[in-house]
Structure 1
Amino acid sequence: MSPRHHLDEATVVSFAAGALSPEMRAVAATHMEGCAQCRESLAQAEHIGGALLGQQQAAPADAARGARLREAMLALLDAESAAEPPVRQEAAPTDPDALPRPLQPYFGRSWRGLRWRWMAPGVHMIRAARGSGDTLILLRIAPGKSMPLHSHQGTELTQILRGAYDDVLGHFGPGDVADLDNEIEHRPVTAPGAPCICVAALDAPLRFPGWLARKLQPLVGL
């Protein structure tokens, strides 16, 4: 099934430019492995980026010019996406026990090899060793469980690997990605039937309006 929730265009552009942290890049790459639409967007961004880079190198660079080039890149990406539908490709068969390749340097090669740590009733987590300073975690949340209402002090990039959840933005199933900024406040509720397993990268701590979640936040490090 094709994903219904995709990477934001700005994230795709940052990926193409090599501007994402390793943790954010791992989540984005995991999404692209199964999303032909975002792979096509990346190919367009890399093509446009190469052309704009040539223009930038032909003239003195400054911060304002860099910002203008980034805006031009996003505008051209919008135009190409509207003019030509993305090419959809079937993903190659994979070993069902193998973790997505972009996650293997952080969590190992197999699902069976994962060592989950209890975080809260019905919630288990694995935290990757710190690299750039961003947080990268695997979460396994029991079915039918409501997570605390929260917003974000920075960016959160979450890829659904198994199971599903629902929030104010809709239904997120396997292959979907939630590309969230500090304007989003949500309370994910996992779907019944099977645990929801996702990988998330965060560049700043979450923001919880509830006092209990705030008290527990230092214990879980999110």
Structure 2
Amino acid sequence: MIKHHPSDETLFRYANGSLESGPRIVVAVHVGACTACAERIAGFEALGGSLLHDIEPEDMEAGALDHVMAMIDTGEAGRGKAAPAQRLPRADVGIRLPEVLDDCGIGPWRWIGPGVRWSRVTLPDDDSANVMLLKVVAGRKLPEHTHAGYEYTHILKGAFSDARGRYGPGDLDEADDDVQHQPIVDKDGECICIAALEGQMKLSGFFGRLIQPLFGG
């Protein structure tokens, strides 16, 4: 059972397209597995459509439609045949990833500390997005950290806990700069999750400072 969800603010930003591309892909993974959040987003989209319907229309300038159609014709003529989509490189990460990630590039697992590995996730429309897969062995503690901005983490396999509760498969942990936490993976199995950052993570301790360059800052 999914117990932890994105905030209404995050779901609203997802619905209106203002959520950054990195967090957006993580929320999309969650929404694909969470009926409650999918219904919540549908409600926000319906509300947005209703608000647009109620807006008093503005008169268009003379010739505005002809101008727009001419721009479309020029763009189509200059574009020509669209180049075939190229599938980004994908390494085998050991589990079947959600379909929403099918067009993303998936890097190989890389060691960043005892029992901790990460894999870069590259988005097809934004290769600068800070998105990663994390795999942590059973019972391992992650570095204690806070954030400059938001960290969105969706659990794909296994579970971890911190002072706020336990997060299992399908849960999404949304943490901001008010959260100082040290996730601990359950002892009965490894944990694999996908995470994205809005802003930068602030890691503490020797190990945290050692791997800080991977997360920016």
Give the structure-2-normalised TM-score. 0.75
Q: Measure how far apart 1:166 and its partner are.
A: 0.2
Structure 1 unaligned runs (5+)?
Answer: 60-95, 109-113
Q: 1:121 aligns with which of 109, 114, 119?
A: 114
Which residue in 1 is equivalent to 2:61?
Answer: none
| Alignment coverage as a number of residue pairs | 179
Which residue in 1 is equivalent to 2:82?
Answer: none
Alpha-carbon distance change, 45 to 214 in structure 1, aligned in 2, over 3 angstroms:
same
Alpha-carbon distance change, 18 to 123 in structure 1, aligned in 2, over 3 angstroms:
same
Which residue in 2 is equivalent to 1:201?
Answer: 196
Structure 2 unaligned runs (5+)?
Answer: 59-93
Alpha-carbon distance change, 107 to 192 in structure 1, aligned in 2, over 3 angstroms:
farther
Alpha-carbon distance change, 105 to 57 in structure 1, aligned in 2, over 3 angstroms:
farther
Larger radius of gyration: 2
Which residue in 2 is equivalent to 1:157?
Answer: 152
Residue by residue, what CA displacement relative to the aligned partner does 1:97-123 show, whole Å, maximum 9, x if unpaired? 531011222245xxxxx7311111101
Report SS of the residue matched to 1:161.
strand
Residue 182 in 1 paired to residue 180 in 2? no
Alpha-carbon distance change, 215 to 99 in structure 1, aligned in 2, over 3 angstroms:
closer
Q: What is the alpha-carbon distance in structure 2 between the residues aligned to residue 10 and residue 157 of structure 1?
A: 13
Alpha-carbon distance change, 97 to 184 in structure 1, aligned in 2, over 3 angstroms:
closer
Which residue in 2 is equivalent to 1:9?
Answer: 8
After superposition, residues 54-93 of structure 1 pair within 5 angstroms as 54-55=53-54, 58=57
Q: What is the alpha-carbon distance in structure 1 between the residues aligned to residue 181 and residue 154 of structure 2?
A: 16
Report SS of the residue matched to 1:105.
coil
Q: Measure how far apart 1:126 and its partner are.
A: 0.5
Q: What is the alpha-carbon distance in structure 1 between the residues aligned to residue 54 and residue 187 of structure 2?
A: 52
After superposition, residues 143-154 of structure 1 pair within 5 angstroms as 143-154=138-149
Q: What is the alpha-carbon distance in structure 2 between the residues aligned to residue 30 and residue 142 of structure 1?
A: 22
Residue 221 in 1 paired to residue 201 in 2? no
Report SS of the residue matched to 2:135.
strand
Amino acid at match of 2:112: M
Q: What is the alpha-carbon distance in structure 1 between the residues aligned to residue 2 and residue 127 of structure 2?
A: 28
Q: What is the alpha-carbon distance in structure 1 between the residues aligned to residue 56 and residue 121 of structure 2?
A: 37
Q: What is the alpha-carbon distance in structure 2 between the residues aligned to residue 132 and residue 41 of structure 1?
A: 29
Alpha-carbon distance change, 57 to 167 in structure 1, aligned in 2, over 3 angstroms:
farther
Compare the two structures and name the one with the higher strand fraction.
2
Q: 1:98 aligns with which of 93, 96, 99?
A: 96
Cα-Cα RMSD: 2.1
Report SS of the residue matched to 2:103.
helix
Which residue in 2 is equivalent to 1:166?
Answer: 161
Say if 1:134 and 1:204, in contact at 8 Å, map to a contact too. no
